[in-house]
Structure 1
Amino acid sequence: MSNNTINTPVTNLPPSHKPWLANWKSFYKKFKRNKAALIGGYLILFLILTAIIGPYITTYDPTEIDYSIKLQEPSAKYWFGTDHHGRDIFTRIIHGMSLTLYVGFFSVTIGGAIGIFLGVIAGYYGGRLDSIIMRIMDVLLAFPGILLALAIVSVLGGSLNNVIIAVGIFSIPAFARIVRGSTLSVRKLEYIDAIKALGANDIRIIFKHVLPNISSPIIVQATLRIATAILTASGLSFLGLGAQPPTPEWGAMLSDGRSYIFDYPHVAFFPGVAIVIVVLAFNIFGDGLRDALDPKMKN
């Protein structure tokens, strides 16, 4: 018998050698079954791209005032018409898209980071620390989200950054409660006790074993929370506590259009439709993520 061996490259590795690829294929296979969620995902991608490149391809200045063309109806020249200051509404919506997404993403990032930290600490260590953190979360949850954000902005003052802080604060309890519950479930698993017995410290266990196992509900909650954050921020701007004129923020544009809702409905209609589309896209995308990432729905 010959002892010579032929070394051939392994090109088709079993799924076990590429767990991330197998997990991604499994996730996408389940996700694409939900046609509405798939459309929502593509729409979000389109909105992000529009927010990035849109301001560079628009024709008009979003803040330039020209009373000679004020309250123009939608036309080939002004697709969405003009407002009471003669500003092109289509241009203002395109420029306002980046502000809307900025508020949504950053406010949820702030609320998620703090909420995840508090939820993991409460669920992992339990005891008195858990009770204190959860009672604080209960106090925050006792206020309706929009009222809590309204109170915070009233204290801090009306500005876009203060809106982000306010929306981030009222997002903390939702993340904290979800993460706490998931952490409690993971903490009771036998392999966590085995890792502790091997001498792993708490930080290593939390970051390498707890957080990766509870990432699915966090991702779903973050996606759905972005829609809530955008709606809340638009509501605060509608009340005059968010972005200040002449910033092309959709909630503020909707507020400006109230006075012309009967005679010139396009002034309020298009900003309102823009808010609805973005919120709807994130909601149906989040529902699709929840269905795809839920282990109970593998069949």
Structure 2
Amino acid sequence: MSDPVQMMNKSNSVIKPSNPKTKKWIDIFDKLRKNKSAMVGAALIIFLLLVAIFGPFFSPYSPNTQDMLNKLQPPSSDHWFGTDNFGRDIFSRIIHGTWITLFVGFSSVALGATVGTLLGIISGYYGGRLDSIIMRCMDVLLAFPGILLALAIVSILGGSLVNVIIAIAISSIPIFARITRGSTLSVKKLEYIDAMKALGASDRRIIFKHIFPNITSPIIVQATLYIATAVLSASGLSFLGLGAQPPTPEWGAMLSDGRNFLYNAPHVAFFPGIAIVVAVLAFNMFGDGLRDAFDPKSKE
């Protein structure tokens, strides 16, 4: 007969308490999975990523190959989305433009979120005069609408995709800084932060090991939602001729080229416009779902 003590030790070695952080992310995923609009947005984002990565290998034509004999052709079996005013295949150009659009959106938000989060944490944690200086600078940037601020920066730096990324990133910094500062002020007041200070933990350790992991939720949500804004801003700047330069197959630039043919060849502007709408809608839907999933007060 087995020893009861050995049986108890064996059962205790098998049954382990669940990790609170792991359980939190599982709950968030369950909420997100039950949100139909968020799942649709996630499916569209995955589809766009797959097109951006693998699409260029399967595009029927080169995006910049001109065929003046077949310019402004309507959609057909040879050209699914028709051709533009230079005879270029619009379907191939949209496929190649997917990578450009997503790259601008992700990289500009990543840059802006990194700088804004760092400034927000420093401002909220240290407070005092440093907090006042940082927040007043953020207030100056917030005084300008995002697209106008990006437009002014690109006008100064010159029209290119790199400058568009820098401009959109700068315009997003104050948004992330304010969100991070507010979250940092809330976490800073918790008792375990005071306990870490009493134990002699350095400010760097407290900030990056104890504060930052607890304020990632609003940053992730804002970053997802702001990608949609970045896509719109990049397309708008390219539409005005300040973003991607010809013959780059960027959706905003393609939309700008098609505005002159809205009556006799509306497909030239229609399909790039639809691509922009789908991308923006996907990130907005998924971002809204993330916001609901991270909200502890939301009901399933």
TM-score with structure 1 setting the length: 0.95
Cα distance between partner residues in 1 of 2:265 and 2:227: 31
- Map 1:228-243 → 2, pairs under 5 A: 228-243=229-244
Matching of residue 291 in structure 1 with residue 292 in structure 2:
yes
Structure 1 residue 20 displacement after superposition:
4.5
Matched residue, 1:108:
109
Structure 1 residue 157 displacement after superposition:
0.5
Matched residue, 2:245:
244
- Map 1:9-88 → 2, pairs under 5 A: 13-14=15-16, 16-88=17-89
- Map 1:119-268 → 2, pairs under 5 A: 119-268=120-269
AA matched with 1:64: T
Cα distance between partner residues in 2 of 1:292 and 1:11: 33
Which shows bigger deviation, 5-14 or 190-199?
Answer: 5-14
AA matched with 2:265: Y
Unaligned 5+ segments in structure 2 are none
**Structure 1 residues 245, 2: CA separation in 2 closer, same or farther (over 3 Å shift)?**
closer
Note the alpha carbon deviations across 1:155-202, whole angstroms, 9 max, x for none: 111000000000000000000000000000000111110111011111
AA matched with 1:255: S
Structure 1 residue 75 displacement after superposition:
1.0
Note the alpha carbon deviations across 1:252-298, whole angstroms, 9 max, x for none: 00000010011110000000000000001000100000000012225
Cα distance between partner residues in 1 of 2:51 and 2:21: 30
**Structure 1 residues 88, 28: CA separation in 2 closer, same or farther (over 3 Å shift)?**
same
Structure 1 residue 25 displacement after superposition:
2.2
- Three-state SS of the structure 1 residue aligned to 2:84 is coil
Instruction: Report how many residues are paired.
Output: 298
Structure 1 residue 250 displacement after superposition:
0.2
**Structure 1 residues 73, 201: CA separation in 2 closer, same or farther (over 3 Å shift)?**
same
Cα distance between partner residues in 2 of 1:261 and 1:11: 71
AA matched with 1:202: D
Cα distance between partner residues in 2 of 1:99 and 1:9: 55
**Structure 1 residues 292, 271: CA separation in 2 closer, same or farther (over 3 Å shift)?**
same
Cα distance between partner residues in 2 of 1:298 and 1:109: 30
Note the alpha carbon deviations across 1:88-109, whole angstroms, 9 max, x for none: 0010000000000000000001
**Structure 1 residues 11, 235: CA separation in 2 closer, same or farther (over 3 Å shift)?**
farther
Cα distance between partner residues in 2 of 1:223 and 1:55: 25
Cα distance between partner residues in 1 of 2:14 and 2:228: 41
AA matched with 1:70: K
Cα distance between partner residues in 2 of 1:12 and 1:106: 45
Kindly report the root-mean-square deviation, in angstroms, between the aligned alpha carbons of the 2 structures: 1.7
Structure 1 residue ranges, 4+ long, deviating more than 2 angstroms after superposition:
1-14, 16-25
TM-score with structure 2 setting the length: 0.95
Cα distance between partner residues in 1 of 2:182 and 2:15: 37
Structure 1 residue 21 displacement after superposition:
3.9
Cα distance between partner residues in 1 of 2:55 and 2:288: 28
AA matched with 1:86: G
**Structure 1 residues 125, 76: CA separation in 2 closer, same or farther (over 3 Å shift)?**
same
